[in-house]
Amino acid sequence: MSKNDSRVPAAEIKDFSVQETFTDAIKHDLIRHQKKSYEYFTTKGIDRVMREVFPVTFEDKKVTLSIPEGMSSFQLDDPDESIESCRKLGKTYATSLSIPVQLYREETGEFKVQELRIGNVPKMTPSATFIINGIEKTCVFQLLRSPGIFFKRENVNQKNENNVAKFVPSRGNWMEFNLDARNRFWIRLGKFRKFHLATFLKALGFEYRTVKGKKYPGELVFVSESKASKKSEENMDKRKKVASYRKQFVKVCEGWKAKSSVKDDEGKVIVKKGQLLTKEHVDAIQYLPENDGKEPYVELDVASYPDVKIGKDEDAPWAFQKCFEDGMTSGLLSRDECIKEIYLNFRPNDQVPSSEAALDFIWKRFFEGEYYDLSEVGRYQINQTFQNEDVPLSHQRLTIQDVVRGIDFLINKVREEEDSDDIDHLGIRRVRGVGEMIAGELKKGLMGMVKMAREKSRTQDGETQTPQTLIVPKLVLRPIDRFFSTGELVQFLDQTNPFSELVHKRKLSAMGPGGLSRKRTGFEVRDVHKTHYGRICPIETPEGANVGLITSLSLWARIDEKGFIETPYIPVEGGNVKFPKKEKDVQFFNALEEEDFYVASSCVFVDQKGNISGPSHKDRSPAEAVRVSARHRREPQWVDSSQVTHLDYSNDQLVGVSASLIPFLEHDDATRALMGANMLRQSCPLLNPSPASVFTGMESAAADSSGYVLKAKGPGKVVSVSPDPDYPEEGSKITIEYDKAQPLDDKGKESKKHVLSLRRYARSNQSTVIDQKPVVKSGDKVKKDSILTDGPGIKNGELALGQNLTIALMSLDGYNFEDSIVVSERVAKLGLLDSVQIEKFECVARRTRLGEEVITADIPNEDDSLLSNLTRDGIVRVGTEVGQGQLLVGKLTPKPEKERTPEEKLIWKIMNQKGSDMRNTSLRMPTGEHGVVIRVDTLSKEDSGVELRPGVLQKVDVYVAIKRRLTVGDKLAGRHGNKGVVSTILPEEDMPFLSDGTPVDVILNPLGVPSRMNIGQLMELHLGWASKHGGNRAKVPVFNGCSMQTIQDELEKNGLRRDGKSIVYDGKTGAKLENDVVVGVMSIMKLNHLAEAKVHARSIGPYSLITQQPLGGKARGGGQRFGEMEVWALEAYGASRALQEMLTIKSDDIEGRNLAYKKMTRGEAIDLSLKPESINNLDKEIRGLGLDLEFFQHSDKNEFSEEILDKSDKNEDSSESEVESEANEDSNTEVEQKVTSEENEENE
């Protein structure tokens, strides 16, 4: 290896896992759910939305818009700009969407087909992000309550006890059945008042008929047509429901099971009895003679329903009988009255239409039409609850059977005295992915487009109508644009380090549109649930108001097509484990599917034959049948190994990706583990990080999924590593020639030559550095999956978010009191915790009404030393070191010109004065900032492909790299929630040192360990110390780590004490410390809370326009807030002058402020005799305490003022006489000193 080669050979890894992993059938892809969701949108989502919206008919069925047969419902083109170009030019990385639309006029039978370009839909990048107007964003998935049917008990064991079963749709009104303590049935539709259930059943067409000779007294029957609705069969369109009192017609769709065989017009059987209908079958049925190309409908059979007992007792009432008896007492006897009653429930102020029209209105609210949608998930959940598969998932409306089964469901729950459904169970909560959200926004846009097209069809001439004249494409993408620009779930990507990006993409939020509110949610929703096991991380969540509402996916969790979270299990048969070799052999279950299985932990001992031979690796049994701990219906229990049906896939299945990076997590308290997991995301990428000496093994998988680590796709050779010609200042290129052609992209394009573009010294959203460093050089041989690049905070293909430092747990002169941290100057000198931030400064030249702003180096009345760093164009040179106040971009802005006399104008012209009508608005480095200019981007309207905002002529972006060295006030942290602030940086010679003279790097307070209960940091300290002396790195997987006994053995093996302590000497005196000290190695991170970026002071600055008080915050040049409690402190101390300043001229006393400024500039004493409103406020406060203040000036004459003035005059006189006497004494002493000095000179 050459001297200049920066690559360091990786240290030997020693695995301290207690148990070997069962299988590696699943490869980690931690952003797979994001990619799959967007892939659903581009493959199925758009097509499904198009077919839901089209066809639409306007003007009494004269004009129909539809998708042409035989054509794809949409087309997506490749993006016009590259990802890097969109970042630089501030554009959106998007793909063009086109849809074919067919217009059919029934009068003429004419068809017009046109392909319409709708616009650009944002496209997901390979790293699962979106670039919107040059800004990188990500979409957080939403965790919502699934639609379906649910049971709830209210006011249990009270007089007003109520039992509720409700249908919750994805869109539409809720249908809620109630059974109260007096066994009365009620129904509530939507948010309106409740009424008797019998009223609703009667309106739908149900009657209660007595039955003789049966065990039950009667049955609920769907009645035949009433006399009022008898119509000739010829005039009734049987394919559609026409307010029928007897029949329910349902649209024939994919997934139905045929109850009888279907033949075509030639007698050939198209569909056999019991066969599931496919899309081809539905199309064939649609063109049978009786359907004539129109959508086919079929009559749904509705059986009679025998009555059931409400309770278990013999004297319990019969449900339907009591329901109808209660309905009779309500006074609504006829069916027409019931229909009108329900109609008025929805439209209380409307005139009641005919019974047929009113029933049709009710029907469209629940059983058909656009107003109600259960969604595929809701239909699936209802079918699972009712154990009924007659209705296919494609039918997403309620049916008559659903209503009766819902009532039966309520009665059974009450009879069995079951508890309420657990609404926090992950079996009834689902995840909305980014693809589903965009599809929903697209549907909104299409519905708006259809509405506009309907209005246009009324005004346009029929002959000139075309799809293009009716459709306004902008309306379609407006909701999508709004979703990506202002949506709550599309967030500014957290790019503090690569790991924070990864975690952000795996977040789940219970908030957002249709979700929960942080103000109204209680503890139950936020708490960890048993079904979270293996699906949602129980550790990682924010600490503030969003605790429990924002969570993270577990390490191995996946999201299925319906949105339910699944987790993997290994199948077991008769105590024998069937180890999966491929991913398809692993079984994934959602929370409901898992309930019936017996799932044992992956900690069980499995012998070489694959049989479960003990509950753990420590407890092995030679017997054939052993007892192991397993979960069944969410409860842990001991069962025989033969009963076990599945094993957990992995030991770290419980936790998310953040917690899986904490070694010895099982020894940390949960709250501290939470802090540790959250602080990993705040770590600054260091200039030269080192992989942790004690690690869990997940670091490489996290780095792979971050998108910054590029790997070879096959064996080959590195041809070159060179600067990128397109972006020489920020990129490099790696060219590889493979031995065989390799697929290079998702489209399957193959080539032997592969050119990889890297991002060098780019700025992240959080102003940290994004730098993909090549780790190969020209001529290197590579294998499949060889690492080609490292990213920020990544070393040798692993996450390296900190430095391995020598730590001592001891106190040092109070400098590490209350979590303060003492750091050696060696750490600062070597730059071990140094990082770089890149700040972006923007300057825009606009066209104003007074003229155009100019970017130039010719700025009048400016210091030449400041202008020397500018180019001719007025922009700072790349590589210039800049400090506060220095010019970055020179800019002049027109100002209103003063009226001059002709003589003045002539003189100005002769003297050739420039800039007299322009003011200097140059871009300067902010106060307190310093750095090096690393890049300048200039965009103007003349450049091709550049789109600037209206009125903008030129835009200049200056990127300045600022080196952040470790300073006092910086925040440091470990991985176990142990955090603190640097209190002092001591010289290396003053730090405590070991027997061999090695000084420690960091001193932590030992009192920070016991009360926090994060013992994992001690175990990391000891094992890191042993690994340092053993020359290796220790791998300690989560929930599979070694014991303290093993660590002690490792310490002893490397010649160290078993207790992990060392003899330590005082750095200042050299004396041996009285007690031995725990010394070890721990990975320490520098968090993105840097003192240098936060320290700020103000002497003068801007004021608020309205309140006239100083602004707040560093960015606005604000001051430190002197609040109410600080005022109390000055009042208590009696600092009246300081208090008066704070409340007056330093606050909103405009007159006093201006007067003070004048006095200071003249060198006069500041007069605080004014009485602004703030003093009146203070007066009111003191009066509230029972003290009466009276204000007066020297000119006022009253008994108090005269007395005080007399005293002040006397004091002044006495003080003047004292001053005179002091002056005389001083002059006398001066004369005496002068005389004595003259005498001394003469003597000399």
pLDDT at 508: 96
- Listed residue (305, 342, 344) closest to 323, CA to CA: 305
- Listed residue (553, 643, 565) closest to 599, CA to CA: 643
Taking CA atoms, 105 is separated from 62, 108, 223, 464, in Å, by 6, 6, 41, 11
* Cα 601 from Cα 585, distance rounded (Å): 19
* Cα 1236 from Cα 1220, distance rounded (Å): 24
Q: Which fold has domain 147-228+302-426?
A: 3.90.1110
Pick the CATH number of 710-790 from 3.40.50.720, 2.40.50.100, 3.90.1150.10, 3.30.70.890: 2.40.50.100
Under CATH, which architecture does the 528-657 domain have?
Answer: Roll (2.30)
Residue type, 263: K
pLDDT at 278: 74
Q: Which class does domain 1099-1172 fall in?
A: alpha beta
pLDDT at 622: 65
932-949 confidence digits (pLDDT tens) = 999 999 998 887 778 888
Tell me whether strands 565-573 and 612-614 are parallel, antiparallel or unpaired. Answer: unpaired
Q: What percent of the chain has pLDDT over 70?
A: 87
- Listed residue (854, 853, 885) closest to 869, CA to CA: 885
Does residue 1208 register a pLDDT over 60?
Answer: no
At residue 960's C-alpha, the angle toward residues 959 and 966, to 5°, is 140
Contact by Cβ (8 Å): 791, 772: yes
User: Half-sphere exposure of residue 207, counting CA atoms within 13 Å on the CB side?
Assistant: 12
At residue 899's C-alpha, the angle toward residues 898 and 903, to 5°, is 120
380-431 confidence digits (pLDDT tens) = 999 989 888 778 888 888 888 899 999 999 999 998 888 888 889 999 999 9
* Cα 170 from Cα 443, distance rounded (Å): 14
Does residue 316 register a pLDDT over 50?
Answer: yes
pLDDT at 1213: 55
User: SS3 of 418, please?
Assistant: coil
pLDDT at 245: 40
- Do the domains 710-790 and 835-964 sit in the same CATH topology, yes or no? yes
Window from 6-20, 138-152, 1066-1080 with minimum mean pLDDT: 6-20
pLDDT at 1064: 96
Residue whose structure tokens are 């409307």: 350
At residue 473's C-alpha, the angle toward residues 467 and 479, to 5°, is 140
Q: Which fold has domain 32-144+433-505?
A: Rna Polymerase Beta Subunit; Chain: C,domain 2 (3.90.1100)
pLDDT at 240: 38
Does residue 188 register a pLDDT over 70?
Answer: yes
Walk across the sheet containing 694-695 and list its strands.
12-15, 1032-1035, 694-695
Which helix or strand (DSSP H or E) is residue 441 part of? Answer: helix 434-459
Helical segments of 104-247, H only:
197-204
Contact by Cβ (8 Å): 930, 884: yes
Contact by Cβ (8 Å): 147, 381: yes
- Split at pLDDT 50, 70, 90, the class of 1229 is very low
Backbone angles phi, psi at 422, to 5 degrees: -80, 105
Annotated domain spans of the chain: 32-144+433-505, 147-228+302-426, 253-295, 528-657, 710-790, 835-964, 1099-1172, 1192-1244
Taking CA atoms, 961 is separated from 135, 761, 769, 968, in Å, by 20, 9, 9, 21
Q: What is the mean pLDDT of the chain?
A: 86
- Split at pLDDT 50, 70, 90, the class of 5 is very low
Contact by Cβ (8 Å): 111, 104: yes
Q: Averaged over 942-970, what is the pLDDT?
A: 90
Bigger pLDDT: 936 vs 461: 936
pLDDT at 1241: 45
CATH superfamily of 835-964: RNA polymerase II, Rpb2 subunit, wall domain (2.40.50.150)
Q: What percent of the chain has pLDDT over 90?
A: 51
Window from 95-109, 554-568, 1184-1198 with minimum mean pLDDT: 1184-1198
DSSP letter for each residue of 681-739:
TTBPPBSS----SEE-S-HHHHHHHHT---B-SSSEEEEEEEE-SSSTTTEEEEEEEEE
Cα 1108 from chain centroid (whole Å): 37
- Split at pLDDT 50, 70, 90, the class of 925 is very high
pLDDT at 930: 93
816-859 confidence digits (pLDDT tens) = 999 999 999 999 999 999 999 999 999 999 998 888 999 999 99
- Split at pLDDT 50, 70, 90, the class of 226 is very low
